[in-house]
């Protein structure tokens, strides 16, 4: 197939791989710097921003009555998260339902249906941003900026706080104080970077305005009018990515030229969504004082990540055999893609957004080749190819615990991780968290939807692809990713929208709060254990060998749970395409 390509096409191919390679190099470069900074923040060491933010934080704690020095145990930490999230959810739901009477509503939008508002609330509070609506025609600026924009910060900061508490617990420290960790995640990490990022995006051409849509005559027919939606997009965009939120200001998300106008803005967005989860692994290394292990874990995920990018990119570059046979030449698959991003940046972005649980899209995931669909679904199933804001890092280290438990006995000692025994409660929590939550909230509702495809699912493409669409939707919800394979009638006023809104809401909640509580209890238990001294008889977890074993455990456990879906979804579709439809 490659033989048919011209020099020009080779140049494009090389350019594509170069774009990917450059981005990956930047990711590796950012990780230790940013990760070290996060560690400094949470170890209470001096940072540059202390002078600016310390007084503000102190004032906030005093006003809200938070005593920063009060330590929380696992349940207290979890309760603080649940209560604060509930309060914020009520606030957001109220804003959405009352947006018709609230200001900043230039297009005069009324309240969405109750189920859309509920799903949107849960979706944004859980850092998922699964959207069963079109932003520009459903939500007012007030709802977008103050409602969703607020959640962008708090839900992301909640994730960071969980990761920090988890790392503290694993390394035998008290978990900390949720309110302090949450505040600092915003003031020290999310807000400063967002300010810089907003300016960069504005420079790249992203609008930041409160004026309403511009109505212009169309080019084809000057008599026709077209409304061009605008809005305060730039600041929304950067925290959407940085906080791994992913909810687009516009319906088509980062494919929209006002959200993501060019290669530069695309690079910033890609780096923004991946930098916190990659850096958080390094943060672990600093706090645990084991940078070697951090780099090994980083390396493990990085290798899988790069492998996934290569598989996806090659699939897109080679294109659809059915289309190619019509065209008479091998062309990249550009269906559902923005030409300004092409196959390479679309593939990179798609793998990154599903891996990091951001869920922003700059191309249609539905239109990816089956290889891409396989990768994107696998990302959602595995949840640790960087993973969600903070939670992904915690999952990664939970997998290490699970790998220690399964294989650690083979060194002739009862399993221990970081000098702490892995006993029944750790096994219950990690295996439940890593192995059971996903099947519960993905497979069960997915199977119900597929059992009643017409009444419930409203699938646009029947067959293997439709199966992938449904499973993707639930996997995206449970993994708190938010991207959609799309193609489902999940938006009001479609008759199946109610089912989708309610069933995915359950997956969103289950996929978010059960793991968070489990992680905190796990960390709390670990922090209370008497550490066992390290000897040559102790299983070293910071070796290439053990990291490889962990990778094996992750892939096998992931494969065992989701192999049937992958087989009947993208794999079957791939064989079908290869056969010629």
Partner 1 sequence: MKSTTSQPPQPDDTTRKRRSPKADTSGLYKSAVRDAFVKLDPRVAVGNPVMFLVWVGTIVTLLVTIDPNIFGTVDADPNRQRLLNGLITIILFFTVIFANFAEAVAEGRGKAQADTLRSSRSDTIARKVLPDGSIGQVSSTELRKGDRVKVALGETIPADGEVVAGVASVDESAITGESAPVLKQPGTDIASSVTGGTRVVSDELTIQITADPGQGFIDRMIALVEGAKRSKTPNEIALTVFLAVLTQVFLIVVATLSPLANYVRTPISIAILVALLVALIPTTIGGLLSAIGIAGMNRVSQFNVIATSGRAVEACGDVNTLILDKTGTITLGNRLADEFIPVNGHSVQEVAAVALAGSLFDETPEGKSIVQLAEKLGANLDFVGGGTLDEMRARSEGVDFSARTRMSGTDLPNDIEIRKGAIDAIRGFVRSRGGNIPDEFDAAYERVSRLGGTPLGICQNGDLYGVIYLKDVVKAGLRERFDQLRRMGVRTIMLTGDNRITASVIAQEAGVDDFIAEATPEDKIDVIKREQSEGKLVAMTGDGTNDAPALAQANVGVAMNSGTQAAKEAANMVDLDSDPTKLIDLVAIGKQLLITRGALTTFSIANDIAKYFAIIPTIFAAAGIGALNIMGLKNPQSAILAALIYNALIIPALIPLALNGVKFRPLTADQLLQRNILLYGLGGVIAPFIAIKIIDVLIPI
Note whether 514 binds partner 1 by CB under 8 A: no
Q: Do 127 and 480 contact (CB within 8 A), yes or no?
A: yes
Tallying the residues shown for the chain, one arrives at 581
Note whether 543 binds partner 1 by CB under 8 A: yes
Q: Do 482 and 131 contact (CB within 8 A), yes or no?
A: yes
Q: Write out the two tokens for 469.
A: 């669409």
Q: Is 98 in a helix, a strand, or coil?
A: coil
User: Of the listed pieces 20-28, 177-185, 235-243, 399-407, which binds partner 1 according to CB under 8 A?
Assistant: 399-407
Q: Write out the two tokens for 132.
A: 């069963």
Residue whose entry in the numeric block shows the structure tokens 């941003």: 129
Note whether 538 binds partner 1 by CB under 8 A: yes
Chain centroid to Cα 185, Å, comes to: 17
Residue with Cβ nearer partner 1 (84 or 407): 407
256-285 residues in contact with partner 1 (CB under 8 A) are none
Exactly one of 73, 76, 407, 461 binds partner 1 (CB under 8 A); that residue is 407
Distance CA 483, CA 350 (A): 9
336 CB-contact burial (10 Å; exposed 0-12 / middle 13-18 / buried 19+): middle
Q: What are phi and psi of 425, to 5 degrees?
A: -65, -35
Exactly one of 33, 86, 203, 567 binds partner 1 (CB under 8 A); that residue is 567
Note whether 82 binds partner 1 by CB under 8 A: no
Note whether 546 binds partner 1 by CB under 8 A: yes
Residue with Cβ nearer partner 1 (357 or 459): 459
Note whether 537 binds partner 1 by CB under 8 A: yes
What mask, x for binding partner 1 by CB under 8 A, covers residues 455 to 494?
Answer: --------xx-xx---------------------------
Enclosing H/E stretch for 228: strand 225-228
Exactly one of 59, 82, 451, 455 binds partner 1 (CB under 8 A); that residue is 451
Question: Taking the CB of residue 412, how many other CB atoms lie within 10 A of it?
Answer: 8
Exactly one of 255, 396, 549, 554 binds partner 1 (CB under 8 A); that residue is 549
Q: Do 133 and 112 contact (CB within 8 A), yes or no?
A: yes
What's the min distance (Å) between Cβ of 418 and partner 1?
12
User: Of the listed pieces 42-50, 58-66, 125-133, 561-569, which binds partner 1 according to CB under 8 A?
Assistant: 561-569
Note whether 350 binds partner 1 by CB under 8 A: no
Residue with Cβ nearer partner 1 (90 or 451): 451
Q: Is 475 in a helix, a strand, or coil?
A: helix
Residue with Cβ nearer partner 1 (43 or 567): 567
Note whether 211 binds partner 1 by CB under 8 A: no
Note whether 447 binds partner 1 by CB under 8 A: yes
Note whether 576 binds partner 1 by CB under 8 A: yes
CA dist list (Å): 196 to 239, 311, 474, 508: 11, 34, 34, 31
What's the min distance (Å) between Cβ of 422 and partner 1?
7
The alpha-carbon radius of gyration of the chain (Å, integer) is 23
Note whether 21 binds partner 1 by CB under 8 A: no
What's the min distance (Å) between Cβ of 400 and partner 1?
14
Note whether 539 binds partner 1 by CB under 8 A: yes
Note whether 563 binds partner 1 by CB under 8 A: yes
Note whether 4 binds partner 1 by CB under 8 A: no
User: Of the listed pieces 91-99, 311-319, 369-377, 544-552, which binds partner 1 according to CB under 8 A?
Assistant: 544-552
Note whether 217 binds partner 1 by CB under 8 A: no
What's the min distance (Å) between Cβ of 479 and partner 1?
16
What's the min distance (Å) between Cβ of 543 and partner 1?
6
What's the min distance (Å) between Cβ of 376 and partner 1?
18
Enclosing H/E stretch for 420: strand 420-421
User: Of the listed pieces 122-130, 372-380, 406-414, 484-492, which binds partner 1 according to CB under 8 A?
Assistant: 406-414
Angle at 448 between CA 444 and CA 454, to 5 degrees: 155
Distance CA 518, CA 507 (A): 16
Count of residues touching partner 1 (by CB under 8 A) = 65
Note whether 552 binds partner 1 by CB under 8 A: yes
Question: Taking the CB of residue 82, how many other CB atoms lie within 10 A of it?
Answer: 13
What mask, x for binding partner 1 by CB under 8 A, covers residues 134 to 163?
Answer: ------------------------------
Distance CA 516, CA 383 (A): 14
Angle at 178 between CA 173 and CA 182, to 5 degrees: 115
Distance CA 273, CA 246 (A): 9
Note whether 51 binds partner 1 by CB under 8 A: no
Q: Do 477 and 449 contact (CB within 8 A), yes or no?
A: no
Q: Write out the two tokens for 24.
A: 């990956």
Query: Residues 6 or more apart from 76 whose CB is under 8 A from it?
Result: 178
Compute the 3-state secondary structure of the chain and give helix, strand, coil in percent, each to the nearest 5.
65, 5, 30
Residue with Cβ nearer partner 1 (91 or 440): 440
Question: Taking the CB of residue 3, how many other CB atoms lie within 10 A of it?
Answer: 5
Exactly one of 149, 387, 446, 558 binds partner 1 (CB under 8 A); that residue is 446
Note whether 410 binds partner 1 by CB under 8 A: yes
Torsion of CA 372, 375, 376, 382, to 10 degrees: 180
Residue with Cβ nearer partner 1 (20 or 517): 517
411-440 residues in contact with partner 1 (CB under 8 A) are 411-415, 419, 422-424, 426-428, 431-432, 435-436, 439-440
What mask, x for binding partner 1 by CB under 8 A, covers residues 517 to 536?
Answer: -------------xxxx-xx
Q: What are phi and psi of 217, to 5 degrees?
A: -70, 145
Q: What are phi and psi of 110, to 5 degrees?
A: -90, -175
Q: Do 286 and 35 contact (CB within 8 A), yes or no?
A: yes
Distance CA 19, CA 564 (A): 34
- Residues interacting with partner 1, by CB under 8 A? 405-415, 419, 422-424, 426-428, 431-432, 435-436, 439-440, 443-444, 446-448, 450-451, 453, 463-464, 466-467, 530-533, 535-540, 543, 545-546, 549, 552, 556, 559-561, 563-565, 567-568, 571-572, 575-576, 579
């Amino acid at each position: 197939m490659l033989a048919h390509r011209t020099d020009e096409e080779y140049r494009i191919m090389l350019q594509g791989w170069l774009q990917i390679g450059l981005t990956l190099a930047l990711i590796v470069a950012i990780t230790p710097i940013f990760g070290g900074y996060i560690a400094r923040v949470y170890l209470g060491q001096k940072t540059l921003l202390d002078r600016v933010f310390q007084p503000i934080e102190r004032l906030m704690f005093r006003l809200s009555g938070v005593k920063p020095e009060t330590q929380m145990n696992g349940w207290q930490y979890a309760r603080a998260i649940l209560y604060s999230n509930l309060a914020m959810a009520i606030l957001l739901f109220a804003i959405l339902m009352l947006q018709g009477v609230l200001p900043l509503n230039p297009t005069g939008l009324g309240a969405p249906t109750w189920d859309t508002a509920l799903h949107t609330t849960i979706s944004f509070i859980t850092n998922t941003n699964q959207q069963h609506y079109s932003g520009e025609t459903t939500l007012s600026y007030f709802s977008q900026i103050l409602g969703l924009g607020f959640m962008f910060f708090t839900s992301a900061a909640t994730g960071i706080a969980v990761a920090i508490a988890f790392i503290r617990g694993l390394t035998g420290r008290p978990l900390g104080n949720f309110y302090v960790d949450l505040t600092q995640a915003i003031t020290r990490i999310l807000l400063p970077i967002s300010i810089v990022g907003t300016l960069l995006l504005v420079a790249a051409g992203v609008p930041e305005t409160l004026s309403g849509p511009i109505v212009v005559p169309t080019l084809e027919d000057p008599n026709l009018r077209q409304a061009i939606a605008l809005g305060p997009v730039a600041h929304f965009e950067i925290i959407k990515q940085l906080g791994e939120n992913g909810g687009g200001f516009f319906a088509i998300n980062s494919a929209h030229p006002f959200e993501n106008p060019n290669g530069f803005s695309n690079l910033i967005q890609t780096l923004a969504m991946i930098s916190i989860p990659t850096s958080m692994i390094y943060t672990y290394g600093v706090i645990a004082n084991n940078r070697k292990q951090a780099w090994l874990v980083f390396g493990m995920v990085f290798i899988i990540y790069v492998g996934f990018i290569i598989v996806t990119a090659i699939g897109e570059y080679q294109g659809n055999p059915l289309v190619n046979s019509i065209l008479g030449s091998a062309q990249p698959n550009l269906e559902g893609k923005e030409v300004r991003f092409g196959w390479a940046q679309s593939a990179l972005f798609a793998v990154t957004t599903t891996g990091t649980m951001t869920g922003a899209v700059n191309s249609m995931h539905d239109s990816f080749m089956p290889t891409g669909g396989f990768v994107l679904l696998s990302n959602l199933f595995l949840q640790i190819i960087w993973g969600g804001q903070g939670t992904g890092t915690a999952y990664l280290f939970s997998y290490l615990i699970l790998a220690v438990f399964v294989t650690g006995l083979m060194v002739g000692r009862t399993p221990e991780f970081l000098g702490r025994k892995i006993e029944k409660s750790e096994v219950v929590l990690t295996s439940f968290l890593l192995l059971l939550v996903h099947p519960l909230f993905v497979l069960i509702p997915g199977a119900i939807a597929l059992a009643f495809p017409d009444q419930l699912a409203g699938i646009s493409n029947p067959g293997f692809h439709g199966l992938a669409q449904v499973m993707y939707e639930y996997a995206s919800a449970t993994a708190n990713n938010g991207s959609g394979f799309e193609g489902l009638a999940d938006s009001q006023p479609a008759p199946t929208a109610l089912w989708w809104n309610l069933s995915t809401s359950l997956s969103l909640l289950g996929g978010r709060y059960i793991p968070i509580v489990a992680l905190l209890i796990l960390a709390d238990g670990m922090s209370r254990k008497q550490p066992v001294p390290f000897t040559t008889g102790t299983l070293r977890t910071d070796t290439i060998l053990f990291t490889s074993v962990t990778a094996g455990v992750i892939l096998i456990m992931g494969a065992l749970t989701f192999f049937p879906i992958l087989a009947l979804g993208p794999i079957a579709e791939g064989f079908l395409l290869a056969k010629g439809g």
